[in-house]
Amino acid sequence: MSAAQQPNPVSVLDGKYALLRELGSGGTGTVYEAENLIVGKKIAIKLMNAGAFSERESQARFVAEARAAARIAHANVVDIHDLGVSRDGVPYIVMELLRGETLEEVIDTRGPLAPAYAGELFLQVLAGLSAAHAQGIVHCDLKPANVLVTHPRPDRPLVKVLDFGIARGVEAAHRADQIVMGTPMYMAPEQVAGEPVDFRTDVYQACAMLFTMLAGTDPFEANTTREVMKLVAKGRCKDLQALAPELPSELVAVVKDGMAVKPKDRIQSAEELAERLRPFVSAAHFVSLVPHDRLGSGQPIPLIIGPSGEAQQPASRPDAQPSVIPVDMPRVARMRVTDSLLVSPRIPRAPSTPKLQIGQDFMPLPGDPDYQSMQNARRSQTHMPKRRSNFQRDVMPALVATGIGFGLGVILAWSAGLL
């Protein structure tokens, strides 16, 4: 990566991205540290080379493929925030700004990496590849310069795979009119020959990168690019065991199997490659990659609530092992969620949770299981007066009033001497 340089201080992309300084450049474009002027956040922007994307068709294909790459959404893949085409017709990608060293810089500085450390970094690369392959994306340009090692924690490096924005989908990669892209030193033989590529192409490039991590040097040695490509096509790489005699022969065999010339003879997936590396990585750092083709799209396994209220696994093969542990949920699974249920849930509670009593701390609402029983209990405990007859309610007050009035009239007549 080249030294940071200052671009034109007034360079503002699409009216909202201020380019602050150049971070590096390569065959596909130049990366700048930039600032989103709207939200005031630092980001990284990669301006693609205008010559490679001058035609409208190539720009449209770039945008479509970059959008697909943005959907990978994995911790070991650089996050893409935005993309577009500038007024000058230059495509660009807006990415998260990362602080760290490329794997190329790590190897140049420290030389060959210890197998355990190399395996820890490499498994994170495979995790990012596995997520991309699940989306149908092939990177096609894996190399140490496209892997960034960051350190959010001093004791645990975090690897980010870069340049997925120029990666290609599997369908597009099989088209005959695709331009051969990549770095010759890490190209797979099918790329050199101009043949279709697939996930196994990334497996080859990943193993070529692992070769460099373990040996501290490139897997091929030649004076020109053409000579390198000839060696790649014939599978004549350096002898890893001779370069690093201390490496276990089984680990050397993994690298060799991943760099087989014919894709059918190669390790077939990132998941298989990760499993082959299990013996050489400490258990604390081993990441088991889930084979996506066997476990589907990652949707949650549906649960069927049986008559007894237990969660049961859907019917499957007789020899299949149950992957769902039955859970005792006698009432919650069939109960409508109401306000009173939130106050006094019918599920096991923590010892420190206050125990609220129905009828004292809160009253159940209509529809709750305890509502009717509570209403019946209230009626039985409360005395209800007997209903009065029509005579008592209507006639008696009139008779009383008439008697009182007659008595008052007699008294007044007597006092006046009329009686």
Tell me if 22 is assigned to some domain: yes
Choose between 330 and 52: higher pLDDT. 52
For residue 85, the domain's CATH number is 3.30.200.20
Instruction: Note whether 27 and 160 are same-domain residues.
Output: no
Q: So what's the pLDDT on residue 409?
A: 81
pTM: 0.63
Identify whether residues 211 and 225 lie together within a single domain. Answer: yes
Strand partners, 304: 312
Q: What pLDDT score was predicted for residue 386?
A: 55
- Read off the pLDDT band of 364 (50, 70, 90): low
Q: How confident is the model at residue 83 (pLDDT cuts 50, 70, 90)?
A: confident
Parallel, antiparallel or unpaired: strands 100-102 and 156-161: unpaired
Write out the residue range of the structural domain in which residue 247 sits.
Answer: 100-288
Q: What is the pLDDT of residue 285?
A: 55
List the catalytic residue out of 82, 141, 339, 361.
141
121 and 245 inside one domain: yes
Active site residue 394: no
Ranking 15-29, 74-88, 208-222, 404-418 by mean pLDDT, the lowest is 404-418
Strands 41-48, 80-85: pairing is: unpaired
Residues 21 and 160 placed together within one structural domain of the fold: no
Band the pLDDT of 177: cuts 50, 70, 90: very low
Contacts of 261 (CB under 8 A, 6+ apart): 189, 233, 234, 235
**307 pLDDT more than 90:** no
User: Which of 223, 186, 189 minimizes the C-alpha distance to 206?
Assistant: 186
End residue of a domain, out of 225, 258, 288 = 288
Q: Which of 238, 268, 288 is the last residue of a domain?
A: 288
Taking the CA atoms of the chain, what radius of gyration do you get in angstroms? 38
| Confidence bin at 63 (pLDDT 50/70/90) | confident
Q: Copy the structure tokens of residue 172.
A: 């597009």
Least confident of 173-182, 258-267, 318-327: 318-327
User: Nearest 10 degrees: CA dihedral of 265, 266, 271, 275?
Assistant: 90
Task: Give, to the nearest 10 degrees, the angle between helix 199-215 and helix 249-258.
Answer: 140
Q: Higher model confidence: residue 397 or residue 118?
A: 118
The per-residue pLDDT for 342 is: 47
Do 57 and 105 lie in a common domain? no
- The mean pLDDT value for 165-192 works out to 64
Mean pLDDT of the chain: 76
Tell whether 280 and 214 lie within a shared domain. yes
**109 and 29, same structural domain?**
no
Q: Is 80 exceeded by the pLDDT of residue 172?
A: no
Q: Residue 191 has what pLDDT?
A: 93
Averaged pLDDT for residues 204-231: 95
The domain boundary, picked from 222, 254, 288, lies at 288
Q: What is the arithmetic mean of pLDDT over 252-260?
A: 96
For residues 208 and 320, which has the higher predicted lDDT (pLDDT)? 208
If asked whether residues 59 and 179 sit together in one domain, one would say no
Q: Which pLDDT score is estimated for 391? A: 62
pLDDT at 207 over 50: yes
Of residues 107 and 324, the one with the higher pLDDT is 107
- The total number of residues written for the chain in this structure: 419
Poorest-confidence range of 47-51, 69-73, 130-134?
A: 47-51
If one compares 234 and 336, the residue with the highest pLDDT of the two is 234
Across 26-35, 68-77, 227-236, 352-361, which has the greatest mean pLDDT?
227-236
The residue with tokens 């237990």 is: 310
Q: 180 falls in which pLDDT band (50, 70, 90)?
A: very low
